Amino acid sequence: MHAAMVYDFAFDYLSRHPHAHLKEIGKDTKSVAVEVFKRFIDIGLVRGGKSGNWNVNGWNMMLRPVLVLDSDEAYPDGKGKEYYLNLLVNESTPYHDAIPDMLKTYDPVTGLWPESPGYSFGTIQMLLDWAAPLKRAGIDIIAGNPILQKAAMAVFPWMDDAANMVVFGDSRGGSANFQTFENLLAYYAGITDKAGMEKVASALNKGISQKNILEIMPVGQGCVPIQLLFHLCVQRTMSVPLILLIIVSSR
């Protein structure tokens, strides 16, 4: 997962400065990387859990390697980015559920995932982590799936007044992870959904007001959460007016 992200980020540099061993074996950086990533994906597709949080964990590790691949026609076996993404967004296999079947796990009324809170809210965080990179690949997993926003908002009944999670089972305590809302906010900003932006910004403001998110850049009596600011800079999907939307009073 992380290797694929580094490879994607440093691709131009790695291509211009290949390792000496690659010259010895007569291969280039891309061909070796693709071979490794495809092998990792193919093994992952027949390992792990078919459903539950382990299925989501499995796809979370496979998705980034999938996204750095070229199109299907680039490979003799016909298995490129489109082939593998179809298994994630459309077609479940005997070993892994695709997103449509994952979303059936959520309770349509409460938005809750039927595992303890740590697993439940970790799962929605991972699903929403996928939204931006998949959208750049031409796939929108949030549109038409309102259960994703409902599942994100379901965290609030499980928070105490200090924004710490009320947990049981083998969950860990501690603060709620507001990156879930950062991902939603970036998505709604990208499609200029003002209603969605305001709803999610309100959730983030609640976290800020409970002093649960690190704060930087004082602006009058307000502040911007450091984790969110970093996310916005990386995603490049938000404008200054939207950043101002989430600046809130610390009083």
DSSP β-ladder status, 215-219 and 222-225: antiparallel
pTM above 0.75, yes or no: yes
The per-residue pLDDT for range 88-147, each reduced to its tens digit, is: 999 999 999 999 999 999 999 999 999 888 888 899 999 999 999 999 999 999 998 999
- Measured from the Cβ of residue 30, the count of other Cβ atoms closer than 10 Å reads 15
Residue 220: left if φ>0, alpha if ψ -120 to 50, beta else—which one? left
Question: In the chain, what percentage of residues exceed pLDDT 70?
Answer: 83
Average pLDDT of span 166-184: 81
Contacts of 10 (CB under 8 A, 6+ apart): none
One-letter amino acid for residue 47 of the chain: R
Confidence of residue 211 (pLDDT cuts 50, 70, 90): low
Contacts of 30 (CB under 8 A, 6+ apart): 11, 15
Q: Report the mean per-residue pLDDT for the chain.
A: 82
Q: What is the H or E stretch that residue 209 is in?
A: helix 194-209
Domain range summary for the chain, segments of one domain joined by +: 1-99
pLDDT at 176 over 60: yes
- Residue showing tokens 């950086």: 29
